[in-house]
Amino acid sequence: MAYLAKSTVLKAYQLLSNIDTDKRQGLTQKVSALKYASALDRYYLFHNQNCNLKQSVNKDLFASYVGEIVKINNEQCTKDFFLGVSANGRDFDCGSNFFSQSSVKDSRTNPYETFLYPKRSGWQPVMDVKDQELIFRSDYLPDVFSFYLGTSELRLAFIIWLLRFTEIGEENLDGLRLSLINTFSNIFCNALYIDAVNHVDTSYIEFDNEMCQLSQEDILSLFNSSKKHSCESPLSANIPFQQIFYGAPGTGKSHAINELTEGESVIRTTFHPDSDYSTFVGAYKPTMGLLPICDELGQPMKIGSTVLHKEQIIYEFVDQAFLQAYVQAWKYYAENSDDAKKQYLVIEEINRGNCAQIFGDLFQLLDRNDYGFSVYPINADKDMKKQLEKAFKKDGKTITIEGADKINALYKGKDVVSQVLSGDILLLPDNLYIWATMNTSDQSLFPIDSAFKRRWEWQYMPIDKGYDASGQEIKWAIEGATKKFDWWSFLEKINAQIGEATQSEDKKLGFFFCKASDGVISAEKFVGKVIFYLWNDVFKNNGFDGPIFKDVDGTELSFSKFYKSDSKGNAIVQKDKVELFLTNLEVESSEKSDKIDREAEISTTIIEQ
């Protein structure tokens, strides 16, 4: 008896990252279809019935089967077989990305209609959904694997991934097949295994006496091997050099970047409407400096042999975020050209500035070749050349890069490294990463043109529950007049209303849109941040006609009604209006939510026993 070796599982993971060429949304969507199809098969196999989500225990069971598909270890899971590694939550994203959206959501409001999942036109459905019941369709499975795992290579990789924690009876392909049959239904196995090992490389399949333990570091290193610094092989599946994390406000975009760049060298800047090339790159600025005191003839004044100095205003070139990161990246190359340390330039709120104006001719540098270096270097102006020439000197001598010939070889042997270090040209090295965040609700401030967009990878940040560092679901409550309301229930309800009113994801709220203190969002904070946003940015142009906007007397619940004045004219939040709005929206009380969770845990324990 043995387990699949760690190297084998990682190789399978890497192969599965090629399910879709779009390493972001397209890959995530296809992986979602596979994980939900596999989870439903497991549910149907062990319970011999379709999964009725009206019963909370079934939700938990289905989510646990999803967890078995996506876990990389006991604390983390993958969303896309690429870089989307996150903490294990109780429902493994089912709550935000499956139970409350798309087909399942539609089946709640239209219980007599049967919906396909996924609903996207041209996609192969993996199940039917009717009145919140997930209907297992064995006749879909052959086409599911043909569509989402189009090659025998990918099918074998998926089999290896499904069996990564399973003890294998025989250390061969028959052992894999038998283990698969013991884990999934015969229909599932026959549809997946057919032709899975024909005419494909199986030499990477190895076994070990111990179960493999994967980590986030394994995943990151898988797509960022040290080979890239030797300029010997293309980076077709590497960490994106330029990527934008985008999504609704409060979805954790900045947090995601912080997690991925922890321990790395990071320079951060924020774009705003007044940002321009000089504030991003650098320019001459007045600064204070020590200058010699001169007499009428311009000669330095001395006391003995000591020249007298005083602080005076001088003009000198001051590096801003881009040049700081650019210079540091090349200095890291000089320190170790075989494995240069990574340098990150993080741009917060990239679309709040005019990108065309801010980047200027740097735009051309964003085209990277297969090795991560700029395809088209640009010439530096005289001021920048002078600054770079000074920056790349140490003890009066220009720094050197031992692997310069390997970089020069990418440019038909031209000595581009010398031109970089002399400040003649600018050229982004392969250890410089430019990552950014963008709130979709702000995308109209300075629209990003398609040419600029093409230079970036796009990482969508879905609206999801919040989890703490240990992977436990965060339970926040909103303060009302007489009781507290569940924050996640509010987000599900209000985001459904926002989607219906705006027909867009842009204005929805993420989990961290408003943060709690000691687990509670005060009525004052809720009104000042959430209600203000909803009334002034979301529903202002879409009307307040729905029942959620009605006061107790049937009149409109206007924003002003959330406040009253005290005897001194100070504004006081009306907690009863907060409670009325949340009640109109049918938000669950936090006590009810906790009770449901406890009952589900008890029911799950009984079933497992």
C-beta atoms surrounding 388 within 10 Å: 25
Taking Cα atoms as reference points, which of 476, 480, 475, 371 lies closest to residue 428?
371
Please give the pLDDT value at position 543.
77
The 10s digit of each residue's pLDDT in 517-541 is: 999 999 999 999 999 999 998 888 7
Whether 359 shows a pLDDT value over 90: the answer reads yes
Confidence of residue 235 (pLDDT cuts 50, 70, 90): very low
Dihedral of the alpha carbons of 560, 566, 572, 576, in degrees to the nearest 10: -80
Backbone angles phi, psi at 408, to 5 degrees: -60, -30
Please give the pLDDT value at position 380.
92
Question: What six digits make up the tokens of 120?
Answer: 């996207």
Confidence of residue 229 (pLDDT cuts 50, 70, 90): very low
Give the span between the Cα atoms of 67 and 84, in whole angstroms: 15
Give the span between the Cα atoms of 527 and 208, in whole angstroms: 57
Give the span between the Cα atoms of 163 and 69, in whole angstroms: 9
More confident of the two residues 81 and 608: 81
Mean pLDDT of 254-263: 88
Q: Tell me what the pLDDT averaged over the chain comes to.
A: 86
123: left (phi over 0), alpha (psi -120 to 50) or beta: beta
**How is domain 242-281+320-459 classified at the architecture level of CATH?**
3-Layer(aba) Sandwich (3.40)
Contact 445, 352 (CB under 8 A): yes
The residue ranges of every structural domain in the chain are: 3-223, 242-281+320-459, 285-319, 477-594
Mean pLDDT of 86-93: 78
Q: Where are the alpha helices (DSSP H) in 354-473?
A: 355-359, 382-391, 404-408, 416-421, 450-453
Question: What six digits make up the tokens of 594?
Answer: 């906790």
Residues 6+ apart with CB under 8 A from 302: 308
Q: Which DSSP symbol is given to 99?
A: I
Give the span between the Cα atoms of 537 and 188, in whole angstroms: 48
Question: What six digits make up the tokens of 379?
Answer: 């010439």
User: Residue 403, CB half-sphere, CA atoms under 13 Å: how many?
Assistant: 22
For the entire predicted model, the pTM comes to 0.60
Please give the pLDDT value at position 85.
79
Taking Cα atoms as reference points, which of 497, 508, 505, 502 lies closest to residue 548?
497
Taking Cα atoms as reference points, which of 247, 243, 238, 235 lies closest to residue 454?
243
Confidence of residue 238 (pLDDT cuts 50, 70, 90): low
Mean pLDDT of 145-158: 91
Give the span between the Cα atoms of 173 and 107, in whole angstroms: 41
Give the span between the Cα atoms of 54 and 51, in whole angstroms: 9
What one-letter code names the amino acid at 107?
A: S
Please give the pLDDT value at position 24.
60
Give the span between the Cα atoms of 255 and 517, in whole angstroms: 18
Contact 460, 508 (CB under 8 A): no
Strand, coil or helix: 570: coil
Give the span between the Cα atoms of 334 and 178, in whole angstroms: 53
Taking Cα atoms as reference points, which of 591, 566, 556, 559 lies closest to residue 480?
591
DSSP string, 360-378: GGGGGGG-B-TTSSBSS-E
Q: What angle do CA 452, 376, 350 make, to 5 degrees?
A: 25
Backbone angles phi, psi at 300, to 5 degrees: -60, 135
Taking Cα atoms as reference points, which of 366, 362, 385 lies closest to residue 375?
366
Helix (H) or strand (E) holding 563, with range, is: strand 563-565
C-beta atoms surrounding 369 within 10 Å: 15
Mean pLDDT of 422-445: 85
The 10s digit of each residue's pLDDT in 553-582 is: 999 999 999 999 887 888 899 999 999 999
Q: CA torsion sign, 163 to 164 to 165 to 167?
A: positive
Instruction: Specify burial of residue 512 (Cβ count, 10 A radius: 0-12, 13-18, 19+).
Output: middle
Instruction: Specify burial of residue 58 (Cβ count, 10 A radius: 0-12, 13-18, 19+).
Output: buried
Q: What percent of the chain has pLDDT over 70?
A: 91
Backbone angles phi, psi at 241, to 5 degrees: -75, -35
Look at strands 265-270 and 343-348 and give their pairing.
parallel
Give the span between the Cα atoms of 63 and 52, in whole angstroms: 13
The 10s digit of each residue's pLDDT in 160-214 is: 999 999 999 889 888 999 999 999 999 999 999 876 666 788 889 999 999 998 8
Please give the pLDDT value at position 198.
67
The 10s digit of each residue's pLDDT in 10-55 is: 999 999 998 987 766 678 889 999 999 999 999 999 999 999 999 9
